[in-house]
Chains A and B, each alone.
Chain A
Amino acid sequence: MAVSTIYSTQALNSTHFLTSSSSSKQVFLYRRQPQTNRRFNTLITCAQETIVIGLAADSGCGKSTFMRRLTSVFGGAAKPPKGGNPDSNTLISDTTTVICLDDYHSLDRYGRKEQKVTALDPRANDFDLMYEQVKALKSGVAVEKPIYNHVTGLLDPPELIQPPKILVIEGLHPMFDERVRDLLDFSIYLDISNEVKFAWKIQRDMAERGHSLESIKASIEARKPDFDAFIDPQKQYADAVIEVLPTTLIPDDNEGKVLRVRLIMKEGVKYFSPVYLFDEGSTISWIPCGRKLTCSYPGIKFNYEPDSYFDHEVSVLEMDGQFDRLDELIYVESHLSNLSTKFYGEVTQQMLKHADFPGSNNGTGLFQTIVGLKIRDLYEQLIANKATARAEAKA
Chain B
Amino acid sequence: MMVITATAKYKGTKMREEKLSEMIEEKVKEATEVCEAEERLEECRVAWDEVEEVSQARADLRIKLKLLNHDPLESFCQENPETDECRIYED
- A60, B58: Cβ atoms closer than 8 Å: no
- Is B7 located at the chain interface by the 8 A CB criterion? no
- Is B5 located at the chain interface by the 8 A CB criterion? no
- A210, B24: Cβ atoms closer than 8 Å: yes
- Contact residues in B for A204 (Cβ distance below 8 Å): 55-56, 59
Interchain CB contact (< 8 A) of B24 among A65, A79, A84, A211: A211
User: A354 to chain B: closest CB distance in Å?
Assistant: 9
User: B84 to chain A: closest CB distance in Å?
Assistant: 14
- Contact residues in B for A59 (Cβ distance below 8 Å): 56
- A150, B53: Cβ atoms closer than 8 Å: yes
User: B47 to chain A: closest CB distance in Å?
Assistant: 8
Interchain CB contact (< 8 A) of B75 among A84, A117, A150: A84
- Is B88 located at the chain interface by the 8 A CB criterion? no
- A219, B72: Cβ atoms closer than 8 Å: no
- A117, B46: Cβ atoms closer than 8 Å: yes
- B72 — nearest CB in chain A belongs to which residue? A86
Which residues of B, 5-59, contact A by the 8 Å Cβ criterion?
12, 16, 19-21, 24-29, 31-32, 35, 42-59
The B interface, classified by DSSP as helix, strand, loop or mixed, is helix
Known contacts A80-B72, A205-B55, A208-B21; A118/B49 CB under 8 A:
yes
- Contact residues in B for A119 (Cβ distance below 8 Å): 49, 53
Interchain CB contact (< 8 A) of B79 among A83, A151, A221, A223: A83
User: B5 to chain A: closest CB distance in Å?
Assistant: 15
- B28, A215: Cβ atoms closer than 8 Å: yes
The A interface, classified by DSSP as helix, strand, loop or mixed, is loop
- Is A226 located at the chain interface by the 8 A CB criterion? yes
- A79, B59: Cβ atoms closer than 8 Å: no
State the interface size on chain A (CB cutoff 8 A): 43
Binary contact readout A204-231 vs B (1 if CB under 8 angstroms, 0 otherwise): 1100111100010011011101100000
- A80, B75: Cβ atoms closer than 8 Å: yes
- B57, A150: Cβ atoms closer than 8 Å: yes
- Is A64 located at the chain interface by the 8 A CB criterion? yes
Distance A118 CA – B25 CA, assembled complex (angstroms): 19
Interchain CB contact (< 8 A) of B45 among A79, A83, A226: A226
- Contact residues in A for B64 (Cβ distance below 8 Å): 64
- Is B76 located at the chain interface by the 8 A CB criterion? yes
Interface residues of A (CB under 8 A from B): 59-62, 64-65, 68, 79-84, 86-87, 109, 112-113, 116-120, 150-151, 153, 201, 204-205, 208-211, 215, 218-219, 221-223, 225-226, 356-357
Residue contacts A-B, CB under 8 angstroms, 18 given: A79-B70, A109-B50, A113-B43, A113-B50, A150-B53, A151-B20, A153-B53, A204-B56, A209-B24, A209-B25, A211-B55, A219-B49, A219-B52, A222-B45, A222-B49, A223-B52, A356-B67, A357-B67
Given contacts A62-B60, A86-B72, 18 further A-B contacts (CB under 8 A): A62-B56, A64-B68, A109-B50, A109-B53, A112-B46, A116-B46, A118-B45, A118-B46, A150-B53, A153-B50, A208-B24, A215-B28, A215-B31, A215-B51, A218-B35, A221-B48, A222-B44, A222-B47
